[in-house]
Amino acid sequence: MSRELYACLYAAEFPAQALLRLRSDLKSQPVAVLDGPAHDQSVCALNRLAAQRGVVRGLGRMEAESIAGLQLLARSLNVEQAARTVLLEAAAQFSPRIEEVCAANACSFVLDVAGCELLFGPAAQVAAQMREAMAAAGFRVSVAVSNNFHLARIKAATARGITIVSAGGEAASLAKLPLSALGLAENPRETFAVWGIRTLGELAALPEVELVTRLGAQARQWRALARGAARHTFQPIESAFTLQEFYEFDSPVEQMDGLLFIAARMIDCLTERAAGRALSLASLDVEMKLEGGAAHLLNLRPALPTVDRKFLLKLLHLDLAAHPPQAAVLALALTAEPGRSSKIQLGLFAPQMPEPSRLDVTLARIKAIVGEERVGTPVLEDTHRPTSFHTEAFHVDTKTSTYDPQPARLALRRVRPPRVIQVTLCENKPAAFRDCGQSFQVAAAYGPWRSNGCWWSVDAWDTEEWDVLMSDRDGMALSCLLVRDRLRGQWRLEALLD
């Protein structure tokens, strides 16, 4: 087992891969990515099918549009940043020590995999598993494994597929590579061209003392790189775990189907990343950038954390139907809050409980029909106004109540809605009333209990309540609550007492 072992992941044409990761419908078509100001756009990245059509970097927009069947996409730095995070998380499955390597048009990471052979097997097997994991995350990468940091970086950038460099074969593996693999500045490149040096093998064969005498101390590092013997101090990066996805559309999206097509793939990526860490999605914040600069926000919070992508997509569909954006969508961002799904142990003979996801979907459908403010848990408001309450979202209270309920002695059954009645007074007390064409005599009346408030607003009230004992023609005795609305001048039957 080697003391040092490095594996480099190199994702070429990363601007194109970042956009195509969420656009599975375009992966079988030639695609080129345009960058630059609107009046001077050129191709900055392309996929393999576009290269077969003759597309090259730097090709102008006019020339690119003349190529039949070529799909042109606009570069998005936000999409690339989100894709970089996903690629880094996928690489972290194999090693916690990762260093990012700067590349002009690629995203590249070098992993310290020394000792990982005990978990993943030999170097070739580790590289194969890495490439499969990256492909599952939506990226096409080349992998190089070597005992030298810089050698793994150079081989991954210049070779396709999987490259394994064994100990002692470093110089031979680099000998045929062009001198451009080192990324030298213009002046040393011209000097080496004058000398007739074209490959790394030819550079490695130069005598060190004479080379340093003519080109300076940095030439020693160039020669060491060409021989695969350059040393490096590993500098691992540390990144926080965030569940975010972003996509910027090429043209404004007005149809919900097109929006949900991209959202489905974004939710798939979020659930896969959360499941990889044994987590679930506790909530999902949706932000849509609209034409005109406005933003449309939605929040999905299922009853229990979940990784069911179909269920989350259904919730998003229903929420969009109830709260559609007021303009065309330019960009879509999803941010999830991780959580842990709870496990419930059922009894052997206990009936199976309904799935929480079905309750969430049912509530979302009811909200779309009757209104969001009419679905939830009733909560009394801090006021003396009778029957004043509002609804809040359903939630489960995990606190254990210590209240010891006493046996109920009197039940109050509210009449919904209250019925307007005609009352006959005697000495300012109810003596009789008529309800639905039926007459009732009042045997006893207790009250009034007056209540008023909010006299300064349209929600003002001024009522008096009477508890009355009444009897009908058959002699049946009943108790009820009568309320007199002094502002409207009417009487209402609001409750029956059992």
What pLDDT digit, counting tens, does each position of 84-103 carry? 999 998 999 899 899 999 88
By the 8 A CB rule, do 2 and 24 touch? no
In whole angstroms, give the CA distance from residue 450 to residue 461: 10
Across 211-217, average pLDDT: 91
Across 137-151, average pLDDT: 93
What pLDDT digit, counting tens, does each position of 347-392 carry? 666 666 666 777 788 888 888 788 777 888 888 888 777 778 888 8
Q: What pLDDT was estimated at residue 478?
A: 81
CA–CA distance from 9 to each of 41, 162, 245, 268 (Å)?
29, 10, 22, 23
**Residue 402 pLDDT > 70, yes or no?**
no
One-letter amino acid at 28 equals S
Share of the chain above pLDDT 90, in %: 43
Lookup result for tokens 């609305």: 485
Across 451-457, average pLDDT: 85
Window from 125-129, 154-158, 407-411, 431-435 with minimum mean pLDDT: 407-411
**Residue 414 pLDDT > 80, yes or no?**
yes
What's the mean per-residue pLDDT of the chain?
87
Across 265-281, average pLDDT: 89
In whole angstroms, give the CA distance from residue 299 to residue 22: 22
Phi, psi at residue 387, to the nearest 5°?
A: 50, 40
| Pairing mode of beta strands 243-253, 42-46 | unpaired
> Confidence class of residue 126 from pLDDT cuts 50, 70 and 90?
very high
By the 8 A CB rule, do 122 and 164 touch? no
**Residue 400 pLDDT > 60, yes or no?**
no
In whole angstroms, give the CA distance from residue 393 to residue 408: 29
**Residue 150 pLDDT > 50, yes or no?**
yes
> Confidence class of residue 302 from pLDDT cuts 50, 70 and 90?
confident
**Residue 188 pLDDT > 60, yes or no?**
yes
Beta strand spans in 114-211 (E): 142-146, 162-164
What pLDDT digit, counting tens, does each position of 228-269 carry? 999 999 999 877 788 899 998 888 988 888 899 999 999 999
Q: What pLDDT was estimated at residue 115?
A: 85
**Residue 34 pLDDT > 90, yes or no?**
yes
**Residue 24 pLDDT > 60, yes or no?**
yes
In whole angstroms, give the CA distance from residue 67 to residue 76: 23
Q: What pLDDT was estimated at residue 1?
A: 41
Residue 336, C-beta contacts closer than 8 angstroms, at least 6 positions apart: 243, 244, 270, 274, 281, 282, 283, 284, 285
Q: Please, what are the domains in the chain? A: 6-167 (3.40.1170.60), 243-339 (3.30.1490.100), 412-497 (no CATH)
Q: What pLDDT was estimated at residue 172?
A: 92
**Residue 404 pLDDT > 80, yes or no?**
no
Q: Which residues pair with 441 in a beta bridge?
A: 432, 471
Q: What pLDDT was estimated at residue 39?
A: 86
> Confidence class of residue 437 from pLDDT cuts 50, 70 and 90?
confident
Window from 33-47, 248-262, 376-390, 483-497 with minimum mean pLDDT: 376-390
Across 427-432, average pLDDT: 89
Across 439-445, average pLDDT: 88
By the 8 A CB rule, do 274 and 338 touch? yes
Lookup result for tokens 């002094």: 486
Give pTM, 2 decimals: 0.68
